[in-house]
Amino acid sequence: MYQTSRRIERAVTIEDLRRSAHRRLPAFVAEYLEGGAENEVTLARNRTAFSRRTLAPCALVDVSAVDLSTTLFGKRLPLPFVVAPTGLNGLLADQGDLQLAAAAARAGIPFAQSMVSMATIEAVARCLDTPHWMQLYVLRERAFAEHLIERALAAQCAALVLTVDGPVYGNREWDRRHYARPAVLDWPSRLETLAHPRWIADIWRRGRGPRFVNVETYTGTRMSAPQTAHWLRERMDASLHWSDLAWLRARWPRPLIVKGLLAADDVRRAIDAGVDGVVLSNHGGRQLDLVGSPLDLLPQVARFAKGRIALLMDSGIRRGSDVAQALALGADAVLVGRAVLYGLAAGSEAGAARALAILADELTRTLALLGRPTVDALDASIFAEGMHTGPVPAMRPSARPA
């Protein structure tokens, strides 16, 4: 049985938070949060990838003190987590990006702010005493990237994350079914939204809906969220090339991370281009369907990239044991997206903090039961050779929004 109480502190698993989030959100927002591309094969693979391996614990090891700390870009962190860059968080909770940043700060971990966040870079910076990373999509108008980089540098952002798996928008068919035309909800979705008065009161409590304020700062024009989304979609630079990394590298003197790689050769090219880190990612299954899980690529990439750059991954993490597997296969840390967004949607900052606490508690227990008292003790020896199971069906939301 899953916990169904609205009291966030009683959530035991990320799934508990997901169910609470579904009760609170209107269907069109819940589908934006949950959905993947086309047949959602990749969305399912992200979860089944974590169920294929069998763990092999070591007994009679002193695990009276389990240490989850790790080092990333020279900074010691209490947990091997980074809050992933995610957009439209202002539709999950009032001031969602600030609430999420505050939860990351409470946990002592980096917060990666999306370019399409709904809070300014400067406002997020004021929430954080932990590393503040800024995520970037490159538009055809390079002046926009230069504008964002200047502000990120002034706000003392510790790293820049270039997302490269979005030259065009993924085909998220379930999401599209809520709209009569781009950015305009159909009438059934509008009427269904009225069944969520608490969400409406929360999101519009300031007298206006959330907007993409970092884009507005550049354009000088106040636009609604749908108008801004359309503006961005029309300007995405589908011609972005490896040679453009030099242009970005010359403008960003701090750690530069490339997010969205799924091929070992691309990781090699990124290293040659002088990046400081990569995120193996399939965008949470939201871009191209039928691609593989970053978890399965990790061992191959770790053989030549480990120790040369920061090696990170995301996509599909819902349990502390998922984190342990990623670290054992070579990741230095993981980016957490949907798991913490479920908490945000269920209970704002407290919910996001609860999600991180659940993952940390599960990771601590997993390390103790594996007989590995530190994150550094995790390696491929935690897996039993010849004992791989078949994939377990992924858990998709039991009550998908109509």
Q: How many degrees, rounded to 5, is the angle at CA 205 between CA 201 and CA 211? A: 110
**DSSP H helices in 177-263:** 187-193, 197-203, 213-219, 225-235, 244-251
Catalytic pick among 132, 178, 196, 283: 283
What Cα–Cα distance (Å) separates residue 24 from each residue in 115, 247, 329, 358?
A: 26, 44, 37, 20
Whether 241 is catalytic: no
DSSP 9: G
Q: What three-state secondary structure class fits 270?
A: helix
Q: How many CA atoms lie within 13 A of 6 on its CB side?
A: 3
Task: Copy the structure tokens of residue 287.
Answer: 């871009």
Task: Copy the structure tokens of residue 37.
Answer: 């591309």
Instruction: Give residue 272's Cα distance to chain centre.
Output: 26
Q: How many CA atoms lie within 13 A of 202 on its CB side?
A: 20
What Cα–Cα distance (Å) separates residue 190 from each residue in 226, 227, 377?
A: 15, 18, 52
Nearest to 229, CA basis, from 148, 338, 120, 115: 115
The full length of the chain comes to 402
Catalytic residues, which ones? 283
